[in-house]
């Protein structure tokens, strides 16, 4: 990829900020010029490793440097403040998932983007996994037929030490939610990307395996989509260790399953022979296994020895899309509006669990 070099600042030098710093150092078209964190020594540790100058907050960065892009890696409940400040300064913005903890705050970011006329993306790196791209292509090509249902299941474990490691973890104000908002947002995002506009949700949540936190460690729900398709949600940080995140998408002519970011099953109806049903994967003929055929497309395919969902690789693909969009060569593949739609489902789960009633989700994608 050829083009100009863009100067970037990272706001937030915690675990995810360090991941962004590593990635920026590996992309020759990005120059890290600043890192800000309320703990300046933590920012300094990252700049000593990856370059740039340390600052205390985004205001200091914007006053002292000339950057093109701001990466927002603070706790979720502080995303909006940082993003709006960067946008009001005319910068492009990359926001870690999710965009914010309420739809109102996401709409404030959308309004700031519209004032600035710059690009904003929310990290949703699993949309860039080869497995996801294969399934999305099958859906777009009609090879799964009419989509009828889907399942997003995140069966993970987080020890009590995880929640005790930061005062913001497990709080409504800064984490915005628990197993579904923090850990499950990526898989929910993939379900929404596959099945389209969500219109209603009914759910239960529970805090069953942890102490001293405000949010859920288990959530279950059902989602109705505008197309009539139905979705099932299960998010947990209270599942015994070793389980996976899994997406299933079902249509009347085909189905697909992604498990731990790998395509493990796909059934596509043949457009050339519409009367022929063929299943590949768990119940298929190994001699013509569709998963193996896709894996032959290159090292980014879902082969047994590869890891298309590895954090650095997946983030890299999304950053490369951002760079191409800045150059005017590609459309931005994940927008604020996309993330707003997924967050609306999760917030609908919380509202339904609180009230015991189905929650109607607003159709649309934010400020106009």
Average pLDDT score over residue span 192-218: 97
pLDDT value of position 300: 38
pLDDT at residue number 147? 98
Per-residue pLDDT tens for 19-54? 999 999 999 999 999 999 999 999 999 999 999 999
pLDDT score recorded for residue 278: 53
Do 345 and 111 meet the contact criterion of CB atoms below 8 Å apart?
no
pLDDT of residue 162: 93
> Residue 368 domain-assigned?
no
In a domain? residue 323: yes
Q: Residue 254 CB: number of other CB atoms within 10 A?
A: 24
- Domain membership of residue 360 (yes or no) is no
Q: What is the mean pLDDT of residues 66-80?
A: 97
pLDDT digits (tens, 9 = 90+) for 104-152: 999 999 999 999 999 999 999 999 999 999 999 999 999 999 999 999 9
Torsion of CA 195, 197, 198, 199, to 10 degrees: -140
Please provide the size of the chain in residues. Answer: 368
Residue of 136, 84, 89, 108 lying closest to 247 (CA atoms): 136
The whole-angstrom separation of Cα 279 and Cα 103 is: 41
Q: 257 and 113: one domain?
A: no
pLDDT value at residue 313: 83
Q: Are 194 and 288 found together in one domain?
A: yes
| pLDDT score for 3 | 84
**Residue 359: φ, ψ to 5°:** -120, 125
Same domain flag for 133 and 52: no
pLDDT of residue 166: 86
Is residue 47 in some structural domain?
A: yes
**How far is the C-alpha of 183 from the C-alpha of 170, rounded, in Å?**
11
Euclidean distance between CA atoms 1 and 319, whole angstroms? 12
Q: Is residue 131 part of a domain?
A: yes
**Strands, E, within 104-172: which ranges?**
120-122, 147-155
Quick check: is 67 in a domain?
yes
Q: What is the pLDDT of residue 269?
A: 85
Q: 298 falls in which pLDDT band (50, 70, 90)?
A: very low
Do 298 and 324 belong together in one domain? Answer: no
pLDDT average, residue stretch 62-88: 98
Residues 148 and 86 in one domain: no
Mean pLDDT of 69-83: 97
Co-location of 227 and 256 in the same domain = yes
Other C-beta atoms closer than 10 Å to the C-beta of 44 total 16
Structure tokens at 356: 């015991």
Q: Are residues 98 and 173 in the same domain?
A: no
SS3 content of the chain, % helix, strand, coil (to 5): 40, 25, 40
Q: Are 248 and 135 in contact (CB under 8 A)?
A: no
Co-location of 15 and 161 in the same domain:
no
- Residue at 102 is within a domain: yes
On whether both 210 and 180 belong to a single domain, the answer is: yes
What CATH number does residue 178 fall under? Answer: 3.30.360.10
Decide: 341 and 365 in contact? Cβ < 8 Å: yes
In this structure, the answer to whether residues 34 and 146 fall within a common structural domain is no
List pLDDT tens digits, range 304-360. 333 333 445 878 999 999 999 999 999 999 999 999 999 999 999 999 999 999 999
Domain co-membership, 151 together with 73:
no
150, 218: one domain:
yes
**Percentage of the chain modeled with pLDDT above 90:** 83
Three-state secondary-structure class, residue 146: coil
**Token duo for residue 100:** 């914010």
355-362 long-range CB contacts below 8 Å, 24 or more apart? 357/202, 358/200, 358/201, 358/202, 359/200, 359/201, 359/202, 360/199, 360/200, 361/198, 361/199, 361/200, 361/201
Report yes or no on 214 lying in a domain. yes
Please give the helix or strand (H or E) that residue 259 lies within, else none: strand 255-259
* Cα distances (Å, whole numbers) of residue 31 to 5, 112, 187: 7, 25, 31
Instruction: Specify the pLDDT at position 316.
Output: 94
Mind listing the pLDDT tens digit for each residue in 267-286? 998 655 544 555 555 444 43
pLDDT greater than 80 at residue 178 = yes
State the pLDDT confidence band at 367, using cuts at 50, 70 and 90.
very low
pLDDT, residue 242, reads 87
Local structure of 42: helix, strand or coil: helix
CA atoms within 13 A on the CB side of 153: 13
Domain span holding position 322: 6-124+316-335
Number of domains, the chain:
2
Average pLDDT score over the chain: 89
CATH number, position 69: 3.40.50.720
* Residue of higher predicted confidence among 308 and 215: 215
Crossing angle (nearest 10°) for helices 40-50 and 15-26: 20
Using omega within 30 degrees of 0 as the cis cutoff, is the peptide bond preceding 281 cis? no
CA dihedral 246, 252, 254, 256 (to 10 degrees): -10
């Amino acid at each position: 990829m050829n083009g100009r070099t863009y100067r970037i600042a990272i706001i937030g030098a915690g675990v995810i900020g360090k991941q962004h710093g590593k990635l920026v150092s590996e992309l020759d078209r990005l120059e890290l010029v600043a890192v800000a964190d309320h703990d300046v020594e933590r920012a300094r540790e990252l700049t000593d490793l990856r370059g740039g100058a340390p600052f205390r907050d985004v205001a200091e960065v914007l006053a002292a440097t000339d950057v093109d892009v701001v990466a927002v890696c603070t706790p979720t409940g502080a995303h909006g403040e940082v993003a709006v400040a960067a946008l009001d300064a005319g910068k492009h913005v990359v926001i870690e998932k999710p965009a914010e903890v309420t739809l109102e705050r996401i709409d404030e970011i959308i309004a700031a983007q519209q004032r600035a006329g710059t690009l904003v993306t929310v990290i949703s790196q699993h949309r860039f996994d080869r497995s996801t791209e294969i399934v999305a292509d099958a859906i777009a090509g009609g090879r799964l037929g009419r989509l009828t249902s889907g399942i997003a299941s995140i069966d993970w474990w987080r020890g009590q030490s995880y929640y005790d490691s930061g005062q913001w973890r497990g709080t409504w104000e800064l984490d915005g939610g628990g197993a579904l908002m923090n850990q499950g947002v990526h898989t929910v995002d993939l379900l929404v990307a596959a099945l389209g506009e969500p219109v209603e949700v009914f759910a239960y949540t529970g805090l069953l395996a942890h102490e001293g936190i405000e949010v859920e460690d288990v959530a279950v729900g059902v989602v109705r989509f505008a197309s009539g398709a139905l979705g099932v949600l299960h998010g947990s940080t209270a599942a015994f260790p070793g389980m996976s995140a899994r997406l299933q998408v079902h249509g009347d002519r085909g189905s697909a399953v992604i498990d731990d970011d790998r395509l493990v099953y796909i059934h596509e109806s043949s457009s050339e022979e519409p009367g022929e049903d063929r299943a590949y994967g768990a119940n298929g003929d190994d001699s013509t296994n569709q998963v193996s055929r896709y894996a032959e497309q290159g090292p980014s395919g879902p082969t047994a020895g590869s890891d298309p969902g590895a954090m650095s690789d997946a983030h890299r693909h999304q950053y490369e899309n951002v760079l191409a969009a800045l150059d005017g060569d590609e459309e931005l593949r994940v927008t604020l509006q996309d993330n707003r739609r997924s967050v609306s489902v999760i917030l609908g789960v919380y509202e339904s669990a609180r009230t015991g009633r189905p929650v109607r989700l607003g159709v649309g994608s934010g400020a106009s």
